[in-house]
Amino acid sequence: MKKEYSLKNTPDGVIISSECFDATLTLDCGQAFRWTVSGNGDISGMAGNRFLEIRPCDGGYLFSGVTEEQFETFWKHYFDFERSYSEICGTMAADPSLRKALDFCPGIRILRQEPWEALCSFIISQNNNIPRIKGIVERLCSLLGEKDDSGHSAFPSASAVLEAGVDGLAPIRAGFRAKYIISAAQSVVSGETDFSLISSLPLADAEKELCRIKGVGPKVAQCVLLYGLGRCDAFPVDVWVKRIMEELYPSGMPGCTKGFEGIAQQYLFHAKRNGKI
DNA sequence: AACCAGGCGCATA
DNA sequence: TATGCGCATGGT
């Protein structure tokens, strides 16, 4: 089987090339909220407590200052390079609408974020828009996250958030979501929510388990499963995907997406938001 | 100035 | 089981 990506060492970091990797789309399509694309196309942001700068370059992306070892042990997994998107996307392209979406935004990958970070982020996302979600998440991190040598704030631990309490979260201006963030933190800290247990459950049971947290409904639960627990069969249905389902797939997702509904959802979501399907 | 934003809890039937 | 409404905040 063909290799999913190739890696080249340079003095400035590693260069990653792949037919199925568009870093800009992947990091700026609404699945993670701590990345920004600057005017010149450079990308920078945080995953957990790691800062990363990515520079598009000839034939790929320079992961600035990243060693091969760091890539292999962390970023490879974060960008889901263990999965063959060329195979998955090839299969999904059997559906005409998905083909359109894949052609419009090729190279989106599902990020494997920390479960707690995903849970907290998608609680914040509810009835909210992406710029403001980013603002709230950023204020949460700078308020309670540990700072590295360069001053980049890590995503705060559940216990740090719990300790702050609802009143302590006031400065992040999360509105009615603050109490949900705290209840989620409480649930994680107490062990009532056990991500490793949940990740071993069938999809429906895993969703039910996550929905026990106040402020977590089906949409947020599926997002946590997809973006935080690597369950690419998870299928978050938001207002956009709901429209897609009604217009394109009234009798359910096509068979060619079986097992990868979440990946299909991400392509459809992005294409729909940009008016391409 | 109303309306909307990657929803959810709660009340009501 | 299925609807409908309010919710904090901020941008159009």
Alpha carbon A239 to its chain centroid, in Å, reads: 18
State whether residue A47 is helix, strand or coil: strand
Residue given tokens 């792949």 in the structure block: A18
Sign (positive or negative) of CA dihedral A262, A267, A272, A274: positive
Instruction: Please tell me the distance from the alpha carbon of residue A116 to that of residue A156, in angstroms, as a whole number.
Output: 9
Q: Measured from the CB, is A126 under 7 Å from any atom of strand C?
A: no
A60, amino acid identity: G
Q: Are A248 and A97 in contact (CB under 8 A)?
A: yes
A219 carries an active-site annotation: yes
User: A6: part of which helix (H) or strand (E)?
Assistant: strand A6-10
Write down the pLDDT at residue A1.
64
**Minimum CA–C1' distance nucleotide for A237:** B6
Write down the pLDDT at residue A59.
87
Residue given tokens 């990506």 in the structure block: A5
Chain A 174-213 residues in 7 Å CB range of strand B:
176, 211, 213
Residue given tokens 């709901």 in the structure block: A242
State whether residue A164 is helix, strand or coil: helix
User: A55: part of which helix (H) or strand (E)?
Assistant: strand A50-57
| Distance between the alpha carbon (CA) of A184 and the C1' atom of C5, Å | 24
Other C-beta atoms lying within 10 Å of the C-beta of residue A7: 17
Ordered alpha helix ranges (H), chain A:
23-27, 68-70, 76-78, 85-92, 96-104, 115-124, 130-144, 158-168, 178-190, 195-199, 203-210, 218-223, 239-248, 261-273
Residue count of chain A: 277
pLDDT 10s per residue in chain A (277 long)?
678 999 999 999 999 999 999 999 999 999 999 999 999 999 999 999 999 999 999 989 999 999 999 999 999 999 999 999 999 999 999 999 999 999 999 999 999 999 999 999 999 999 999 999 999 999 999 999 999 999 999 999 999 999 999 999 999 999 999 999 999 999 999 999 999 999 999 999 999 999 999 999 999 999 999 999 999 999 999 999 999 999 999 999 999 999 999 999 999 999 999 999 9
Strand B: which positions are within 7 A of a protein CB? 4-10
A219, A242, A258, A272: which is the annotated catalytic residue?
A219
Other C-beta atoms lying within 10 Å of the C-beta of residue A176: 9
Q: Are A154 and A145 in contact (CB under 8 A)?
A: yes
| Distance between the alpha carbon (CA) of A219 and the C1' atom of C8, Å | 20
Instruction: List C-alpha distances in Å: A276 to A91, A245, A268.
Output: 20, 15, 9
Q: Measured from the CB, is A128 under 7 Å from any atom of strand C?
A: yes
Q: Are A117 and A155 in contact (CB under 8 A)?
A: yes
Structure tokens at A227: 């973006």
Instruction: Please tell me the distance from the alpha carbon of residue A85 to that of residue A186, in angstroms, as a whole number.
Output: 36
State whether residue A206 is helix, strand or coil: helix
Structure tokens at A76: 């490879």
**Minimum CA–C1' distance nucleotide for A128:** B5
Nearest to A106 by CA among A171, A25, A167: A25
